[in-house]
Every structure is written in structure tokens, then in C-alpha cells.
Structure 1
């Protein structure tokens, strides 16, 4: 019962954190609010959640990585694949080597493999934290897509690097040749298992749905189980469960494009996954805050082993590591930009050189978050010989400090760097959207024409089918006409569409209010109220998305 109570308190803290972040007059990152609430819970209750590292890793990482792979914009991922790979692979290795040696030099009592493990786990970035910070300041969409793509891949590369470093700390042996072979097996095997499992599960699901019909609840549950299944199978075969979860998510995005699932399944599934993502990310940061007092106490005890006796050195270590991370990231971003400009010049393309503030913003936006915390908590408690894992508490504290410091730096620095910044023009997609809407409307007209003849043939009410079909086709033809206009006519059409959208929203909301009134007056059953309200909600969501 105690564990259930703790879980409920953590979930309540996540809910409260969202409200507090919205009430704040300044843009306080949601993760910082959650960390503060977690620390307050620990201070009030005096309790500490005992986290078993591998259970914590399994519970939180697979679904988060799976969802990142599922929802990342594929267009931006492939368009900027070179930049993303440079950041997610090259920068991770650069960070692990540079920061690893720096930490070992700064804290000689921390063994080099442990320093490399700490450097590896603080290398992944967290786009969700960046999104919370940049909610009230402009940020180029392309920059955000690069950060999302970088985070998707550097989660995997950073955690795999940490795995090698931990293995070296446990065994005391590290072979570059063996590590390369192991890395290839981990990476290729994990990707194949994750993509293969999603493909097999979705094929089997689609076959059964065609035979027996689709039940939305079971389809949603299947999507929730896929990342855990891919992760566990990959780990059982000694491959990377991390990459398996990411690959499963990317494969899921392609499987979803087949359009096999019912519309109601997609709507409900999106809502469930949004809730799961919010809850898991929130609980991770609340747990960080809840663990913080004991982490600080343990690290303060360990700092004596580093040759210092004043706990203030803990803060010095955190600041020094953050400065090293920021400097290495800035250097790498600058080198990557130079290389991109040089490559464009060689190809005869003209690329606008970005403002220096945008380059610095790219570096400051390297915020650490949930993956860093989840990964560092998986450090083993003991070595193979049964002795305590060296400097484990100190490593956890430093990782937690890096998370908090990077959040603070980004929350202060990004609004300053991006304010009144003349951003490079974003590529427009209005023409592609108009063409797609016209093509969809033409397909709908063809289907209505064919179906009205099939349904009305030989029936006494054939004229009714023709009349209804004509009215529907006229709506689609109007849509085609409006999307075919250009220039001032197009602007006028957009203005009319905006007026229509507002009026439709007002009408839908009035419908819903009346349905609720009839329900309160017991003139409608509860089931009917829920059904009608859901229809109104879906309609409102449709019109709101058109903004």
C-alpha cells in the first residue's frame, strides 16, 4: 500500500506542476517546477523512493524513446540528416572523450571508466525540456526539428556509450576492436529487432482486424506493449534495447501511414500516448527532485574522497562540467556549420549564414533531461567482486546537477538569444497543402459519384441518393475552387475561412453547452450525452486545428 500511495503522490505532483507552470508570469520550464515539487515532497514526508536501476530503466525509457521515433517529423529528419548525424553521433563521441578526460582530471578519485560513463549519459539532449522553455519565445521550426532528430539518435548513442563505459568499470578491461564489433551487433541487431517486431505485430493486427473487426481498446494496448516487447527481446538477444525501442517507433510511424486503423482508434490512441508521455516525463523529474536531498547528502560524503572537505566543491564540479559541455557543443556546432557552408559552396548552392546568436542558441539548447536521469540511475550498485560501484552517488549528483544547470541556462539564455532575432525564412508548405486538399476532394467526388449510383440503382428512392450526393459533391467542388485561387483572391478566401472557422467553433460550443444542459435536466441519458459531446469535441478539434 505504501508504494501505491507514493505512486499516487507522484502523479498528483505531475498534475500540480502543470498548473503551477501555467500560472507562472515568467516562462519557468516545467521540469524545474517538477524537480522543486519532488524536493518539497521529500522534505515534507521525509521518505525516499528506493529505485531499482534496471526496473527504472525498463519502465520509463522504452515508451519515451518509442514515442520519439513514432512522432518525429520524417521530412525534417531526412532533409537535415547530415547535421543530425553530426550532432547525434559525432558530438556524442566528441563529448564522451573530451568531457570524460576532463572529469577524470577534475576529480582524480573518479575512475576513468566511471568518468566516461558520466560523460556519455550527460551527452543526450531533451527536446521536451527545450519545448517548455521556448513556448513563449520564437524558435525556427527547422532548428527545433534538428534538436528533435538529434535527441532521438543521441539518446541511443549516448546510452550505448555508457553501456561500454560501465562494462569497462565492472571488468577493468576495454578493447577497442571488441567494442566496435559489439557496437555493430548492438546497433544493427537492435534496429532489426525493433523494426521487425513492429512490422510483424502490425501485420498480424491488421489481419485479425479484417477478419474479426477492430476493437480500439486492444489496439491501443498493443501500441503500448510494442516498445516493451522490442526492448526486452533485444536485451535477451544481447542487442541494444534502446535502439530497438527507437526503431520500433520509427517503424510504427510508417505502419500508421497505411491507414488501417479506425479513426476512433487513432484519436483515442493519440490521447492515451499524450497522457503517458506527460506522466512518464513528469514522474522522472519529480523523482529527481524527490531523490535530490539524499543524492546531495551522499555526494557530500563522497566529495571528501576527492581531496576536498567543503561541499561547495560539488557546485564547482557541476558548473565546470556544464561549461565544458557547452564549450564542446559550441565548438562542434561551429565546425559543423563551417563544414555545411563549405559543402554547399562546393555544390554551387548559396546558403545564408545564420546569425551568431542562432549558433549560440543551438549550443545553449542542448538541455539534458529525462534520458540523462533515467540512464544515470541505472549505474550498478556494486562491482563484479561485490564492492560498491566507485563514486556512484557523486556521478548521480553531478548528472542531476547538469540537468538542473542546463535547464536554468537555457531558460535564461534562449529567450535572450532568440528575442527580436531575424530568423531565416522557413520553407512554406501552403502549395503542397492546397494540392493535397484538392486531390483529396477530387477523390471524394469520384467515390460519391460511384457510390450513389451503386446504392441507388434499382431502388425507388434513387432520387434521394442523387440529391444527397449532389449536395456533398458541391461542397467538395467549393473546396477545390477555394484552394485553386491565388494572389488577393487567395487572401480573401483565407479571411472568409477564418470567419467561418470562428463561427463554426462558436456553434459547436453552443451545441455542447445545450447537450450538457439537457443532460443535467435528465432529458438525455448519460450514454447519449457522452456520445453527442464526443462528436462535438471531435468537430471542435477539427476546426481548432485549422487555425
Structure 2
């Protein structure tokens, strides 16, 4: 019963965080509010949460990574694949080597292998925390896509490095060749597992639906279970379940282009996924806050491991390590940008020179999160000879502190670095949207024309009835085509302003419709069943315009 009460308290904390972050007179990232509420839950509950990292990875990461892979723009992902791969793999190795050596130098009592393990587990970044900060201080779109792509891939490389560093501590040996081969297998097999599971599930679901039909909730439930299947299959073959979940999400975005899902299914599924994302993201940071008091107590008890008597040395270590991680990230991004510039010049192309403010944004946006916390808690308690794992409590404390410090640095530093930063606009998205609307309108007109003749012939009713209906439906599409038929003949700003005005008028009309339907239901002029049906139709129309 106590466990259920703690879970309910955490869910309540997630709900409260959404309101608190809007009530605060100053700007604070949602993850920090949730961490604080988690610490409050730990203070008022008798029994804490015994966090099992394996269960944590299985329950929380697959759906969130699947959704991130599904929603990330694939054009930007493949366009910037070079810099994303350099950050996701090259930067991780650079961080493990650089931070590992510096941390061992800073804390000689921490063995070098343990320092490498610590550096490996703090190398992956967290897209959830960055997205939360970006919601209040918008990061340029292209930079955000790069950060998202990096965070989707660097979890696997960071965890592989962490696994081999821990193995070196346990066995006293390390093989670079074995580690490299394992990284290749873990990555390729993980991606293959994610793609295979998603395609297999989609084909099976399509075949079953065509031959036997399905319940309305089945497609949504299958969609929710897909990332777990991909994760478990990959883990079963000793591959990366994290990369499998990401690959499953990316594959799902292409499967979705088939258009087999019903419109109502897509609307309901989007609502379900929004709820799942908000809940799991929130619980992860609430759990981090709930674990912090215990981590602090154990770190204070083990402060002698660092060779000092005063616990204030721990704060100095955290600040120094935070500065090291930011500096290493800054140097790597700067070097990668310079290399890209040199390569482009060799090939006759052109790239803008690296701007220090943009590189600073990339450095500060390297926020650590859930993967770091869950991974560091998997450290063994004992060595094979029965001795305690060296500096285990200290490593856990430093990792948790790095998460908090990176969140604070991003929330305080990013708004100041981004202030007044202007980047050239990328009109490609708007042009693609205009093209899609124009072509879709042409297809809609052709479909209306053929359908209204077919309906009139089948029913045998007055042809004018269907013709008038077709004219009314076609009017909106003809207006859209006329406005965009000849690019450059109409002022683009005027069209955007007209679109906004039309949307505002339609939303006002829909609001009036809904209020009237509710009033009729309250007055029992219509049944509540009719009321729900009409309100749902109005809500779908409103969602379209919003």
C-alpha cells in the first residue's frame, strides 16, 4: 500500500509541476520544479522508492525515445547527419577520455577506470530537459534538431563506454578491439531490431485489420507496445535497446506515410501519446528529486573517499566537473565546425564561419538527465573479491549533481546567450507548406468533381442538389488555389495576415457553436449523446485550425 501511495504522490507532483511552473513569478525550467517536488515527496513519505535501473530503462525510455524518433524532422536529421554523428559518437569518446583523465587528476582517490566510468555515464545528453528549456527560450530550429538528433544516438555510445569502463574495474583488463566491435554490433543490431519490429508489427496489424476488423482502441494500444517490443528484442540479442526504440520511432514515421490509419485514430492516438509523454517525463525528474536526499546522505558519509574532511569539497568538485564538461563540449563543437568549414572549402562549397555565440549555445545545451541517473545506479556494490566498489557513492553523488548543474547552467545561461541572436531565416518550410496546400487543393477539387457526379447518378435525385453542394465545398479550395497559383503575384505578408484573420473568425464561430450545443444540452433540448457527438466534431475542427 505504501508503494501505491508514493506512486500516486509522484503523479500528483507531476500534475502540480505543470501549474507551478506557470505560477512562479520568474522563469524556471519544468524539470527543476519536478525535481524539487520529488525531494518534497521524499521528505513527507516514510518509505522511499527502491529504484531498479533495469526496470527504469524498460518502463520509461522506450516510449519516450520512440516518440522522439517518430517526431523528429527526418529532413533535418539526414541533412545534418555529419555533425549529429560527430556529437553522438565522437564527442562521447572525447568526453570519456578528457573528463576521465581530468576527474582522476582532480580526485586522485578515484581510480582511473572509475573516473572513465563516471565520464561515460555523464556524456549522454537529455532531449527532454533541453526541450523544456527551449519551450520558454526558443532555440533556433536547426540547432534544436541537431541537439535532438545527438541525444537520440549518444545514449547508446555513452552506455557502451560505461559498460566497458565498469568491466575494466571489475576484471582489471580492457580490450580496445573488443570494445570497438561491441559498439558496432550494439549499434547496427539495435537499429535493425527496431526497424524489423516496427515493420513486422505494422504489416501484421494491417493484415489482421483487413481480414478480421479491429476494436477502436487496438491500433493505439499496439502503437504503445511497439517500442517495448523493439527494446526487448534488441536486449535479447545483446544489442542496444535504446537505439532500437529510436529506430522503431523513425521507422514508424515512414510507416505512417502509408495513410492506413483512420483520422479519428490519429487524433485519439496523438492525445494518448501527449499524456504518456508528459507523465513519463515528469515522473523521471520527480524520481530524480526523490532519490537526491538519500544520495546526499551517502555522499556526505563517504566524503573521506575523496581524501578530504570537509563536505564543501564536494561542491567544489561538482563545479569543476561541470566546467570541464562544458569546456570539452565547446572545444569539440568548435573543432567540428572548423573541420566542416575546411572540408566545404576543399569541395568548392561555402559554410558560414563559426560564431562563438552559437557554439556557446551548443555547449550550454548539453543537459544531462534520466539516462545518466539510471545508468550510474547500475554500478555494482561489490568487486569480484568481495571488496566494495571504489568510490561508488561519490560517483553517484557527482552524477546527480552534474544533472542539476547542467539544468541550472542551461536555464540561466541559454536565455542570455540567445538574447538578440539572429539567424538567417530558412523559407524552405513555408514554401513546402504552400506547395503541399496547393497540390492538395487541386487533388481535392478533382475528387469533389468526380464524386458529386457519381453520387447524383447513384441516387437518381435532383442533379442540382449535388451540384450546389459541390460548388459550396469547392469554393474554399478554389480560393486557396487562386491565392497561391502564381507565386509572387500576391504579397506574402498580406496572405499570412488574411490567413490569421480567417482562423480567428473560424475559431470564434466554432466557440459559439459549442457554447450553443452545451446550452441546448443543459436545457434538455437535445440529449447528452447528441451533445457529445456534435461537440466532438466541433473540437476536431478547432484542433485543425489551431
- What is the distance in 1 between the residues matched to 2:281 and 2:376? 15
Does 1:542 pair with 2:544?
A: yes
Kept in 2, the 8 Å contact 1:216–1:264? The answer is: no
- Measured after TM superposition, the shift of residue 166 of structure 1 is 2.5
Q: Which residue of 2 aligns with 1:520?
A: 522
- What is the distance in 2 between the residues matched to 1:168 and 1:346? 42
Question: Following superposition of structure 1 onto structure 2, how do residues 20-99 of structure 1 map, counting pairs within 5 Å?
Answer: 20-99=20-99
Question: Following superposition of structure 1 onto structure 2, how do residues 142-541 of structure 1 map, counting pairs within 5 Å?
Answer: 142-384=142-384, 387-457=387-457, 459-461=459-461, 463=463, 464-485=465-486, 486-541=488-543
- Measured after TM superposition, the shift of residue 54 of structure 1 is 1.2
Moved more, 301-310 or 26-35: 301-310
2:470 aligned counterpart, secondary structure: helix
Deviations 1:189-225 (A, max 9, x none): 1111111010000011111222233434111111111
1:255 aligned counterpart, secondary structure: helix
- Measured after TM superposition, the shift of residue 487 of structure 1 is 4.9
Deviations 1:130-177 (A, max 9, x none): 222233334211111111111111122212222222333333332111
- Measured after TM superposition, the shift of residue 386 of structure 1 is 5.3
- What is the distance in 1 between the residues matched to 2:380 and 2:246? 24
Does 1:105 pair with 2:105?
A: yes
Deviations 1:353-374 (A, max 9, x none): 2432122111111111222223
Q: Cα gap change, 1:137/1:236 in structure 2, threshold over 3 Å: closer, same or farther?
A: closer
Kept in 2, the 8 Å contact 1:198–1:226? The answer is: yes
- What is the distance in 1 between the residues matched to 2:424 and 2:493? 23
- Measured after TM superposition, the shift of residue 25 of structure 1 is 2.5
Q: Cα gap change, 1:212/1:447 in structure 2, threshold over 3 Å: closer, same or farther?
A: farther
Deviations 1:477-502 (A, max 9, x none): 22111222535444333322221110
- What is the distance in 1 between the residues matched to 2:58 and 2:114? 22
- What is the distance in 2 between the residues matched to 1:465 and 1:152? 52
Kept in 1, the 8 Å contact 2:483–2:490? The answer is: no
Deviations 1:63-103 (A, max 9, x none): 12211211111011011111111111110110011112222
RMSD: 1.9
- Measured after TM superposition, the shift of residue 416 of structure 1 is 0.7
Kept in 2, the 8 Å contact 1:121–1:375? The answer is: yes
Q: Structure 2 length as normaliser, TM-score? A: 0.95
Q: Cα gap change, 1:160/1:515 in structure 2, threshold over 3 Å: closer, same or farther?
A: farther
Kept in 1, the 8 Å contact 2:104–2:112? The answer is: yes
Query: Which sections of structure 2, spanning at least 5 residues, go unmatched?
Result: none
Q: Cα gap change, 1:383/1:228 in structure 2, threshold over 3 Å: closer, same or farther?
A: farther
Kept in 2, the 8 Å contact 1:300–1:311? The answer is: yes
Q: Cα gap change, 1:437/1:393 in structure 2, threshold over 3 Å: closer, same or farther?
A: same
Moved more, 29-38 or 422-431: 422-431
2:238 aligned counterpart, secondary structure: coil
- What is the distance in 2 between the residues matched to 1:434 and 1:471? 23
1:359 aligned counterpart, secondary structure: helix
- What is the distance in 2 between the residues matched to 1:104 and 1:62? 33
2:116 aligned counterpart, secondary structure: helix
- What is the distance in 2 between the residues matched to 1:382 and 1:72? 41
Q: Cα gap change, 1:489/1:459 in structure 2, threshold over 3 Å: closer, same or farther?
A: same
Q: Which residue of 2 aligns with 1:11?
A: 11
Q: Cα gap change, 1:260/1:300 in structure 2, threshold over 3 Å: closer, same or farther?
A: same
- Measured after TM superposition, the shift of residue 46 of structure 1 is 4.5
